[in-house]
Amino acid sequence: MNNFNYYTPTKVVFGKDTVDKAGELVKSFGGTRVLIHYGGKSALESGLIDRVKASLDAAGIFHVELGGVVPNPHLSKVYEGIELAKENGVDFLLPVGGGSVIDSAKAIAYALYEPDEDVWDLYDHTRQSKGSYPLGAILTIAAAGSEMSDSSVITNEKTGEKRGYNSDLCRAKFAIMDPSLTVTLPDYQTMSGAVDIMMHTMERYFTHGYVPDITDEIAEGLLRTVMKHAKILHEDPSNYESRAEIMWASSISHNGLTGCGHQGSDWSSHRLEHEMGGMFDVTHGAGLAAVWPSWARYVYKEVPERFAKFAVKVMEANPDEFSSQEELAVKGIELTEEFFHSIDMPTNMKELGIEPTEEQILEMADGCARATGGSVGCAKVLYQEDMAEIYRMAR
């Protein structure tokens, strides 16, 4: 087993009506002046923001608010949040939303700690953060896992660059997770979320060398759980238990647990999708579904034993029906595509609704190579020409 660190300080408060604990939780972590950060109108119209404000008022906590965060959250909104927070002496960030809203709040939290620096430097990887203002999350979309992860991803909408920054400094102090808040999500969002959750574990799963049994057991169990309950929600969106299973899986899938003690995670599919998201503004999980099968076919021969194990333990292929590990590996990829189709997710870019030209493919490959310092991947290290080829396969 490889040495590893595991650090998940986020206090999870999970279940029905936990939103009403927002005020006391902010207070218990020392917050006195809060920026409530959110996305579209649904958070307002559903009464959720009013409920959050009532909880803060009851705890005697000052608050201002900033909505309008979009999927693939924009740097300009981050800058707007920084200014508003400074003007109001904000000392605690309270995102109410999914990964985009939480990531936007994380960027604001970094910026407030170092007010004389440009926060984009972090995402452009020209500087490391020295600290972050505290943040608590109220989750309304199970997908990104940002509520427990060390990650945030921001899009510079002027340049089309979508970039991530990872640091323990931005881990949320608390996460309020009420699955019933996700019941009104459109099916496409819910299923995209399920794919995103799966991919956070799958990016860690396909690696070289010794993978601890305990890490594999957790990863495989999590993937089986998400697939089972995504299928249930595709038929019955109001199923609370399935909403809860998927919401809790979203946090575990990206808090580090499913990658403990192995040699390294891959993240190629995420990096490839980031460029698609930067150029075409696609839904992240659906974008991952569209690129993963091509990535998998491009790399599986490097770690056939991992793909074969995935086929058996996660996709329930019968190993006795295959004469080689490689055949079994391919079957696992095919079964993953079948699963994606069964929940109306794409398996290529055309099904996703985008048709990049060769020029755009070269541009995405160039962007991906620049964003990754020239290469990415663990199962197989990908360079710019590999990236372009996977984009072509995924057309």
Mark the segment that binds its own copies (CB under 8 A) among 1-9, 54-62, 65-73, 337-345: 1-9
Residue 8 CB, nearest approach to its own copies (Å): 6
Pick the closer one to its own copies by CB: 83 or 214.
214
Helix (H, G, I), strand (E, B) or coil at 159: coil
Residue 200 CB, nearest approach to its own copies (Å): 14
Pick the closer one to its own copies by CB: 217 or 305.
217
Pick the closer one to its own copies by CB: 147 or 363.
147
User: Residue 286 is which amino acid?
Assistant: A
| Residue (of 275, 254, 334) closest to 300 by Cα position | 334
Residue 150 CB, nearest approach to its own copies (Å): 12
Residue 161 CB, nearest approach to its own copies (Å): 32
User: Distance (Å, rounded) from C-alpha 253 to C-alpha 257?
Assistant: 7
Residues 6+ apart with CB under 8 A from 127: 117, 121
Encoding tokens for residue 303?
């770690």
Determine the size of the site formed for its own copies (CB under 8 A).
40
Contact positions with its own copies (CB under 8 A) in 200-229:
210, 212-214, 217-218, 220-222, 224-225, 228-229
Residues in contact with its own copies, shown as a per-residue x/- string from 225 to 254 under the rule CB under 8 A: x--xx----------xx--xx--xx--x--
62-66 and 92-97: which strand pairing? unpaired
Pick the closer one to its own copies by CB: 249 or 354.
249
Pick the closer one to its own copies by CB: 3 or 126.
3
Helix (H, G, I), strand (E, B) or coil at 305: helix
Contact positions with its own copies (CB under 8 A) in 130-189:
179
Residue 327 CB, nearest approach to its own copies (Å): 27
User: Distance (Å, rounded) from C-alpha 351 to C-alpha 289?
Assistant: 10
Residues 6+ apart with CB under 8 A from 64: 34, 35, 36, 84, 85, 88, 90
CA atoms within 13 A on the CB side of 114: 16
